[in-house]
Structure 1
Amino acid sequence: MPNSEGQPEPTSSSSAGAAILPDQDLVKQLLDQMELRYVVDEEGDLAAPWEGFRTYFMFRGEGDQQVYSVRTFYDRPYSIDDKPRLHEVIDDWNRRTLWPKVYTHTHDDGSVRLIGEAQMLIGSGTLLEHFVSSTLSWVRSSVEFDKWVIEALGLEKGMASEPEKGDEE
């Protein structure tokens, strides 16, 4: 878990350099240490809400194919007419950064939302330090993307909409 300077520290449950299989409890511990509020949704996924977006910490698959995914759903709605400009802006972000990779999702009502995602294959285990530093970096980058896209599109921060139920997929 990170120490007061944000650097990972091995816990007593894992020796330095030993591979672990991360789980939701480990992410909860990490979020607690980051002093971030979180909830477990009806599907059992862990979510941390922010003003204007929410970030999910999900584990999918089994065995060697298990994947840890950090996915952020940005609440600001765009119109279908905005989609070409959105693609131009998020392509720029995706070229410049490693994560999150951002894409659009068009809902049945024609509204368009942005989703950011980073993934790690964890089925055969990973180092605690790698898992912690990746998760911290992905969370920070998700927050930074929100600020960046508002500036890149020339939007006002206060224009973000309130979260709506059912926006996840």
Structure 2
Amino acid sequence: MTIDPSSIPNFGGQPEPQPTGPEGPIVPDQDLVKQLLDQMELKYVVDDEGDLAAPWEQFRTYFMFRGEEEQQIFSVRTFYDRPHAIELKPKLLEAIDDWNRRTLWPKAYTHTHDDGTVRLIGEASMLVGTGVSLEHFVSSTVSWIRASIEFDKWLIEQLGLEAEVDDAKPDDEA
């Protein structure tokens, strides 16, 4: 099974071309996700556990398949690397509750590390073990990736972190 590059949604308001691929449902696998990431020109690695991960500057997005056969779930999970002080957790929770009410994905939550820092995680999942259409899988995965990027931008704006982000850039990028 292959993905037609013209089938990758552009979200630019133009009608979307129809993907060419198998008729009927498919059961996606890691090779299909690799192909999609290649066509989106996104770099990725396979981690020690065998999961695909696409690294960005401030976060990593994992593409994972979990479960057996008909119960298999495909999950796109983004780990945001920016550490937040534990004292900011109430403000973070308020912000991500607002995000979760307003959007479908990724659903965001916090994780408090042993050192007291709080980091955010975003996640979207789909049952794929019984089969899904290729176009649904592609459009959902692309949407989830783009929403993960937008969440990071949104959070920076909500928490007033623009100056912090600008200060972290090398002089030639600022």
Q: TM-score, normalised by structure 1?
A: 0.88
Given the alignment of the two structures, is residue 75 of structure 1 paired with residue 78 of structure 2, yes or no? no
Given the alignment of the two structures, is residue 93 of structure 1 paired with residue 90 of structure 2, yes or no? no
Aligned counterparts of 1:144 and 1:106: Cα–Cα separation in 2: 23
Other structure's SS at 2:82 match:
coil
Cross-structure match for 1:10: 20
Structure 1 runs of 4+ with >4 Å offset: none
Other structure's SS at 2:92 match:
helix
Other structure's SS at 2:116 match:
coil
Say if 2:7 and 2:19, in contact at 8 Å, map to a contact too. Answer: no
Structure 1 unaligned blocks of 5 or more: 161-169
Residue identity matched to 2:28: P
Cross-structure match for 1:60: 66
Structure 1 residues 123 and 159, CA gap change in structure 2 (3 angstroms): farther
CA offsets 1:14-56 (integer angstroms, 9 cap, x no match)? 12xx100000000000000000000000000000001100100
Q: Would you say how many aligned residue pairs link Structure 1 and Structure 2?
A: 157
CA RMSD of aligned residues (A): 1.6
Q: TM-score, normalised by structure 2?
A: 0.86
1:131 corresponds, among 130, 137, 152, to: 137
Other structure's SS at 2:110 match:
strand
Structure 2 unaligned blocks of 5 or more: 10-15, 169-174
Residue identity matched to 1:117: E
Identity percentage of aligned residues: 72
Cross-structure match for 1:155: 161
Say if 1:55 and 1:71, in contact at 8 Å, map to a contact too. Answer: yes
RCO comparison, higher one (Cα < 8 Å, 6+): 1
Other structure's SS at 2:84 match:
coil
Given the alignment of the two structures, is residue 116 of structure 1 paired with residue 122 of structure 2, yes or no? yes
